[in-house]
């Protein structure tokens, strides 16, 4: 399949360390946000979501933080593993529509 | 299989030709999306179906693009008079609940890579 994200910002992290991936969103009225993981040649895979009435949500090894004041999302991955290597996208639901608007993505490289 | 299935996985065509891309969503999923992803970019919304009807086609770039979902299940994205700029990965996603329910659980297929020579 096609390799996605050849020209994306890259975050390199040592295996076992924590990763933080950041995303700025555009619409202050957006009330729902999702993080997706995309491996080369595959479609995006849902990781975690958060609604605008929350500041933080935790999953298994992942935490999403939402700062509505500065329209910023972050995804924290604990104890990063080689299998976490992928491109990560944040997406916001466009208010009043059916669209999910994706950011440009960040490539995460896990170093052994 | 249990996931979203897209065919063909790869399509190479010549400029000016007509192309059809097929999406078979997860059984029972009423919501279906088409997205387009260019190299180094995030997926770009094209069209959303709820059941058989296109609830939002505002992302289709021009009238050369058209999509159908006649029986509320399989969808076909049709591109007429293809141009080199149409080269991209076309992603299909389905969801159990309508987008208005604010669920983010879109299940994506692996995409159809279209190359227009």
pLDDT digits (tens, 9 = 90+) for B58-81: 999 999 999 999 998 999 999 999
Measured between beta carbons, the chain B residues lying within 8 angstroms of A33 are 104
Percent of chain A whose pLDDT exceeds 70: 94
Q: How far apart are CA A92 and CA A99, in angstroms?
A: 8
Cβ atoms of B88 and B19 closer than 8 Å: no
Which SS3 state, helix, strand or coil, does residue B79 take? strand
Q: What does each C-alpha distance from B71 to B50, B52, B75, B94, B97 come to in angstroms? A: 11, 6, 9, 15, 17
Which SS3 state, helix, strand or coil, does residue B36 take? strand
pLDDT class of A50 with cuts at 50, 70, 90: very high
Q: How far apart are CA A109 and CA B14, in angstroms?
A: 36
pLDDT tens for residues A66-111?
999 999 999 999 999 999 999 999 999 888 887 899 998 999 999 9
pLDDT class of B102 with cuts at 50, 70, 90: low
Task: Judge whether residue B100 has pLDDT over 80.
Answer: no
Chain A: give the shortest CA distance to residue B26, in Å: 14
Nearest by CB to B106, from A7, A41, A46: name it. Answer: A46
Which SS3 state, helix, strand or coil, does residue A88 take? strand
Of B90, B96, B81, give the one whose Cα is nearest residue B109: B90
pLDDT tens for residues A6-46?
467 999 999 999 999 999 998 999 989 999 999 999 999 99
Q: State CA B73 to chain mean position distance.
A: 13
Question: Does A41 contact chain B (CB < 8 Å)?
Answer: yes
């Amino acid at each position: 399949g096609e390799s996605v994200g050849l020209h994306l910002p890259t975050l390199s992290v040592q295996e076992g360390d924590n990763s933080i991936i950041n995303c700025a969103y555009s619409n202050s009225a957006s009330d729902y946000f999702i993080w997706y993981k995309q491996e080369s040649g595959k479609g995006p895979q849902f990781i975690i979501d958060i609604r605008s009435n929350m500041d933080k949500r935790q999953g298994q090894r992942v935490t999403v933080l939402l700062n509505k004041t500065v329209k910023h999302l972050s995804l924290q991955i604990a104890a990063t593993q080689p299998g976490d290597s992928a491109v990560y996208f944040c997406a916001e639901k466009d208010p009043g529509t059916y669209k999910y608007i994706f950011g440009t993505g960040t490539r995460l490289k896990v170093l052994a | 299989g249990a996931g979203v299935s897209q065919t063909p996985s790869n399509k190479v065509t010549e400029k000016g030709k007509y192309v059809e891309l097929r999406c078979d969503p997860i059984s029972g999923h009423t919501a279906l999306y088409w997205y387009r992803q260019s190299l180094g970019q995030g997926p770009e919304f094209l069209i959303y179906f709820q059941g058989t009807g296109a609830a939002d086609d505002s992302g289709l770039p021009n009238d050369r693009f058209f999509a159908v979902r006649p029986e509320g299940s399989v969808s076909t994205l049709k591109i007429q008079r293809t141009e080199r700029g149409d080269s991209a990965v076309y992603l299909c996603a389905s969801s159990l609940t309508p987008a208005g329910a604010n669920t983010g659980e879109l299940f994506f297929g692996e995409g159809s890579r279209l190359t227009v020579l």
